[in-house]
Structure 1
Amino acid sequence: MEIFKLGDDILALLEMVLGFWNNQINLVFSLLGQSPVSFKGGGPWAVVENLQPLFVGVGSGLVVLFFVIGFCAESVDIKNEFRFEAMLRMLIRLGIAQWLVANNLTILKAFFSSIGAMVSHLGNTTMAQVSIGVGEAEIIENLGFATSLVFLILSVVLSLIILICGFFIIYTVYFRFLKIMVIVPLAAIAFSTLAGNRTVSSTCVRYFKYFLSVVMEAVTMALAILICNAFISAGLPSFTGGYADWAQVLIYLCEITFTIALTVGACKGAQSLTGRALGL
């Protein structure tokens, strides 16, 4: 009887959920390829630009303060410190710090454009879509009633996991934009420390390393998605060859869900992974 055949309903549920996941992945690549300048129509970035003059003003004042602190900290004998090469070195450091403070937004936006172009290029490569294979779909459609009940319960659980993962990966991408927009105004203050000695100027280096790890996070996310989708497309592991057809499909569905969860985990830890890989 048709009422006892749940295979078509199970297949429809799985295809709907995997279609949702594929749409989320396409949205993720679209967002990662965007510059924070154009995110959400540029509204959030407009707030950053409106606040920028305030931070630049503070940073410009701190340049002089850090220069004096650095000069005093490095000066053992102030008469010897007035040699031409020493004064030239300090003035160059002062000039570079002031230039970075005044032009920090332009410099940071150049990184946004470069990383966005890299992610867009990755997104244009051939990416496997997550879907149920033809052979697996045929097995699901022909399941017996008892087996289909088990598959139905499992499919509902796996579908909920995939739906949660889909929303969570979008949250991760949005949170990346938030981190960028929060730390960008602080660049003026961080760059002002370059006018000081090595101890003071290390703040600038740490800020720039963190900024790079957050921005490059998009590339790591894109790579993780591409590779995890390739995991799914590779099919079942070889050890399942002797299993029954329904058991192979069961393992196949669990593997898809596990890999999707793995994708989200990799995207969540993308900043840490990027920082460790690049020594940031």
Structure 2
Amino acid sequence: MNGVLWVAATPIGNAQDASLRLLSVLEKADLIAAEDTRKAKFLMNALGISTQAKVISFFAANEEARVREMLDAVSNGSNVLMITDAGMPGVSDPGYSLVSGAIARGITPVVLPGPSAVTTALAQSGLPMERFIFDGFIARTDGARREYFKGIAHEERTVVLFESPRRLASSLAVAGELLGTDRRGAICREMTKTYEETIHGTIAELAQWASTHEVLGEITIVIAPAPAAVRPTNEDILAQAQRLISLGMGKREATAELAQELGIAKRDIYDLLIATSKAD
């Protein structure tokens, strides 16, 4: 008979945010896989949890072997718990391969919800929350970072990103250049911890703050949706596409050109062209 595979969110800074279910499974687990075993043991000490479970590391370098080990343990009847340093496994952390591997083997993971840097930052930002995207960590190289910000220039949803403290100022400078310095945003630093703070303002103001302060700790950036005035309408997109096609470009070539220029997904532009052709 199979054991249970738990995938659980852990506090993002304040141990008191741990759920009652997390406390329960920490005590019940036979095997605990943690992104950092030292942090896992520190959390359990902070929660007053005593466990007889074997605690093993689970990170990018050993992920493949650990997935096999953990799923074999579940198949042999052990109760296995997966946690990361903070938040939900698989969200900019190890965990996806374990869940997908479990499902492939007919094992249904039991997910324990809990703290999330993404939704906490959204709530603190004061920006629209109805629709948002989370894109993980900003690309490290300047070229890839510029391409990314070009790609969200017309994004209609709020954008949530993680960033390293040492790259924060330079990333915000690029964001201001490509998104507009007056776009609203927020920097959420050390959320739920003793020295947490949230800085609200335009991207220009955030960049100024980041360049004039010693930035330490965990950083989450929230960027407001593009103002409606800067988002091209379908009619505008079609007009520009038809202009390019009239100059000799094929639909796919025109689509790629406009996607680069407007920061809109190629599929969206191409689908619009196809739909218009069918309507005609």
TM-score (norm 2): 0.22
- Specify which structure has the higher proportion of strand: 2
TM-score (norm 1): 0.22
Q: Which has the higher contact order (CA 8 A, sep 6+)?
A: 1
- Specify which structure has the higher proportion of helix: 1
